[in-house]
Structure formats: structure tokens, C-alpha cells
Amino acid sequence: MEEIAHTMRQDLQGAGKYLAFWLGKEEFAVPVGRIREIIPWQEITPVPQAAGYVLGVINLRGKVVPVMDLRLRLGMPFQERGVRACIVVMQPDTKRARSPIGVVVDGVSEVLQIQPSEVEETASLANGWMQMGYVNQIAKSKGKVKLLLEIDGVLAGPMEDAVDLQTPELAGCGKG
């Protein structure tokens, strides 16, 4: 608990421990304070009539936990699951949802420390034309790029979606 609390405090200052994971060739990072546990791949029961990126539900020690495909959630193309795919159980902290959510990623890479000095805002990087759904910050760590995922936005309930996932927000890009 102490450690998590510590991480959270650091989080507020913009620095702290992050869990990094892969989606295709992109490496994302999420504050460890949001991570409950990482579990191996298991069979997921589909839920009829649920949003497309909701893969279904699993039994996590007696609790029914929904699982989403992060690729689809971010509007990336569907890809068959690889051998390193696993489910990262995250803890949202939004008005609508507080119970854990499983997030399928292509593989977990490492836990790392990111300093505020290593982070840049995507908005300032390209003067605004490079607008991304859920990545507002990019960090460079040991010569590699980590995309800091806006996890609360991602975990916001399916109903709350303001962003239409079928058409990634690249408006203005073509005209520029």
C-alpha cells in the first residue's frame, strides 16, 4: 500500500513508476498506481450487444470482470492475439466506474521510472496537427519512445465515449 501511495504522490508531480506494454510496435506506459495485476491470457466469455471493443467478461477470483481490446479501443486495426498477449487488470477512477477492468495488450515490457523532464506534450510537438485520441504526452526513456496513455479516458465507460472510434481524429491533417 505504502509503495502505491508513494507512486501516486509522485504521479501528481508528473514523475513516477510506469508499466510499459506493447501494442504492435508501439510502446505505451500507464502509471503503476492504476494497475491491479497482470494475468495470463484466458478464455473470455463474449457479451451480446456490447460495444465492439468489449471482448467480454472473465472470472477473476469470483468477480465478473469486463475485458476490452485496447487496440480496438484506440481505433487501431484488429490483429490476431500473439503468444505474449496478456490481460492487464486496471483500476479506473472515474465518476462512472470504479470496479476493475481487464485490458488486453500484446505484451508487457517493463516497469520504469519516468522523470518529468523526459515528457513532452504531443500538442506542443507538432503545433496541434497531430491530435491523438488518448495520448497527450510522449516520454523518451533510454533512447526509446513511450506513449503515456490517458488511461482514465480509455477506461471511461462505453457510454461516455465522445470520440467516435471508427474515424480516428485526424481532422485537419489532410488539409495541412
Partner 1 sequence: MRQEAQLLRLLEAILGSVFSPAAANETQAGTRRLELIQHFEETEACARQLEMGGTAEAARHLVALLEPEDGGEEREATLQDQVEQLHTLAEQELEARLAAAAPPAPAGPGMPWGDFVLEAREHLANIEQELLRLENSPEDTEAVHALFRSFHTIKGLAAIAGVETAREVAHHTENLLDEVRSGARAVSSALIDLALSSADFLGEVVAAAEQLDQGEEAAIPDDAGALLEQLYAATHSMPLPLSDDLPAAPPPRAAGPAAKSTRAGGRSAVKVDTAKLDQLVDLVGELVIAQSLVQLDPALAALGDPKTAKNLNQLGRITTELQKTAMSLRVVPIGQTFQRMARVFRDLVRESGKQAVLETAGEDAELDRTIVEQLADPLMHMVRNAVDHGLELPADREAAGKPIEGRIRLSALHQSGHVVIAVSDDGRGLDQARILRKAVERGLVKEQAQLSPAEILDLIFEPGFSTSEQVTAISGRGVGMDVVKQEIEKLRGRVEVRSEPGKGTTFLLRVPLTLAIIDALVVKHGANRFILPLFTVREILKPRGQEINTVEGRHEVALLRDRIVPVLRMETLLGESASGRATEDSVLVVVEAGPRRVALAVDEVIGKQEVVIKSLGDWMGRVRGVAGGAILGDGSVGIILDLDGLMGREGYGLAA
Judged by CB, which is closer to partner 1: 58, or 74? 58
Enumerate residues 46-105 that contact partner 1 by CB under 8 A.
Answer: 46-50, 54, 56-59, 61-66, 92, 96-101
Burial class (CB in 10 A: 0-12, 13-18, 19+), 144: exposed
Binding part of the chain for partner 1, among 41-49, 116-124, 139-147, 166-174 by CB under 8 A, reads: 41-49
Judged by CB, which is closer to partner 1: 60, or 112? 60
Residue 104 CB, nearest approach to partner 1 (Å): 15
Q: How far apart are CA 64 and CA 95, in angstroms?
A: 20
Residue 55 CB, nearest approach to partner 1 (Å): 12
Q: Strand, helix or coil at 37?
A: strand
| Cα distances (Å, whole numbers) of residue 137 to 94, 125, 132 | 20, 9, 10
Q: Which amino acid is at 155?
A: L
Judged by the rule CB under 8 A, the positions of this chain that interact with partner 1 are 43, 45-50, 54, 56-59, 61-66, 92, 96-101, 155, 157-159
